[in-house]
Amino acid sequence: MTNAIIIAILAAIKIGIVIGVLLLVIAYLIWVERKVMAHMQVRLGPMRVGWHGLLQPIADGLKLITKEDIIPANASKILFVLSPVIAMIPALLSIAVIPFGDTITIMGVSIDMVITDVNIGILFILAVSSVGVYGILLGGWSSNNKYSLLGGLRSSAQMISYELSMGLSLIGVIMMTESLSLVDTVNAQAGLWFVVLQPIAFVVYAISAIAETNRCPFDLPEAETELVSGFHTEYSSMKFALFFMAEYANIITVSAVGVTFFLGGWRGPFLPPVVWFLIKMALCIFFFVWLRSTFPRFRIDQLMQFAWKVLLPVAIVNVLITGLVMSIL
């Protein structure tokens, strides 16, 4: 009985820390993105609030909370309010199975640096993130606005198409580790990272991850030149902020999965595991920002053709090759 209580308390502490850190990181990711993009475009970015604009996220947050919350007259009220929540919850949930570090022992109690190690880890992430699309889809529909609806439809088409190649790109790694648990995946990379053994899968994963998070150059759902701002045109105040935070939480999730599956997870010399994990994730996130300030947006037909005619066949061939090589060796 006492054992169960200790496990419950530990889980609660871990969830508290992870969610707290995650929300803080999301707030500062927006600052990082603005700063990095500004410097890439020879600007300064936010400078006024705090040293080099470091307090900007807090100012932004206060502004968003105090804004007027508008619900359009002909909107479907329940779904309109529910959609930002549906977008946010899956984004936070999928962090639960990602291992941040090795097992450590404090006062005789060994603690795994993962909230919960379920034996279907990656399936859990894929399942939960596939539900996240409803936030965008229903948000776009319930606003009763044609721009929102178009944005919602575009994003659902995009996310369904790229989800397939994303799942297939991970199958190569799953075949090699023979486990769906993320802890096992990290342990299997003690010698060699899977990015070396599965380079094609890594490229396919990276491209589909960017498309899954609706980021530039795949940010068609909110293409401001065509759709005002897509599915969240009618959203204001904290509801808008929730959509915004969900996008960044998704970036963190796909980066974390990418690090775990291809870049050795928390493994690395000299520094503590958690630090290595954070460094690798920061590099992935920097890559996202870098892309946004470099590439122009795709057209919708190019996007769909690329998903079905290039990315999906490449991912399937990769699975076949992995199977062939594994059966020969």
Partner 1 sequence: MLESLLFIIMSLITIACAIGVVFQKNPIYSAVFLIQTMVSLAVLYVLLHAQFVAAVQVMVYAGAIMVIFVFVIMLLNLNKNDMEDGKTKMPMQKPAAIILGLVLVVMIGVVMTRTIYQGAQGEYTPEVMDQIGNTQLVGKMLFTKYVLPFEIASILLFAAIVGAIILAKKQIIKEEK
Does 312 interact with partner 1 (rule: CB under 8 A)?
A: no
Contact pattern from residue 161 through residue 190 relative to partner 1, giving x for each residue in contact according to CB under 8 A and a dash for the rest: --x----------------x----------
Least distance to partner 1, CB of residue 123, Å: 4
259 CB-contact burial (10 Å; exposed 0-12 / middle 13-18 / buried 19+):
buried
Q: Are the C-beta atoms of 175 and 322 separated by less than 8 Å?
A: yes
Least distance to partner 1, CB of residue 164, Å: 9
Beta carbons within 10 angstroms of residue 178's beta carbon: 9
Contact pattern from residue 41 through residue 80 relative to partner 1, giving x for each residue in contact according to CB under 8 A and a dash for the rest: -----------------------------------x--x-
**CA 203, CA 282: separation in Å to the nearest integer?**
18
Does 222 interact with partner 1 (rule: CB under 8 A)?
A: no
Beta carbons within 10 angstroms of residue 46's beta carbon: 19
Least distance to partner 1, CB of residue 112, Å: 18
Enumerate the β-bridge partners of residue 109.
106
Backbone angles phi, psi at 48, to 5 degrees: -80, -45
Does 157 interact with partner 1 (rule: CB under 8 A)?
A: yes
Does 302 interact with partner 1 (rule: CB under 8 A)?
A: no
Contact pattern from residue 90 through residue 129 relative to partner 1, giving x for each residue in contact according to CB under 8 A and a dash for the rest: ----------------------------xxx--xx-xxx-
Least distance to partner 1, CB of residue 26, Å: 23
**CA 61, CA 56: separation in Å to the nearest integer?**
9
Which stretches does DSSP call E strand in the chain? 101-106, 109-113
Does 229 interact with partner 1 (rule: CB under 8 A)?
A: no
Beta carbon nearer to partner 1, 53 or 139: 139
Does 245 interact with partner 1 (rule: CB under 8 A)?
A: no
Does 144 interact with partner 1 (rule: CB under 8 A)?
A: no
Q: Which of 84, 152, 265, 273 binds partner 1 (CB under 8 A)?
A: 152
**CA 309, CA 68: separation in Å to the nearest integer?**
45
Least distance to partner 1, CB of residue 273, Å: 26
Does 130 interact with partner 1 (rule: CB under 8 A)?
A: yes
CA 269 to chain centroid, in Å, comes to: 26
Mark residue 199 as left, alpha or beta (left: phi above 0; alpha: psi -120 to 50; beta: remaining): alpha
Backbone angles phi, psi at 105, to 5 degrees: -120, 120
Q: Which of 92, 98, 138, 256 binds partner 1 (CB under 8 A)?
A: 138
Reference 259, options 29, 25, 99; nearest CA is 99
Least distance to partner 1, CB of residue 253, Å: 15
Beta carbon nearer to partner 1, 136 or 256: 136
137 CB-contact burial (10 Å; exposed 0-12 / middle 13-18 / buried 19+):
buried
Does 134 interact with partner 1 (rule: CB under 8 A)?
A: yes
Least distance to partner 1, CB of residue 142, Å: 8
Burial profile 20-31: b = 16 or more Cβ within 10 angstroms, e = fewer = eebeebbbebbb
Does 8 interact with partner 1 (rule: CB under 8 A)?
A: no
Place of tokens 């599915």: 231
Which residues of this protein are in contact with partner 1, per CB under 8 A? 76, 79, 118-120, 123-124, 126-128, 130-131, 133-134, 137-138, 141, 149, 152-153, 156-157, 159-160, 163, 180
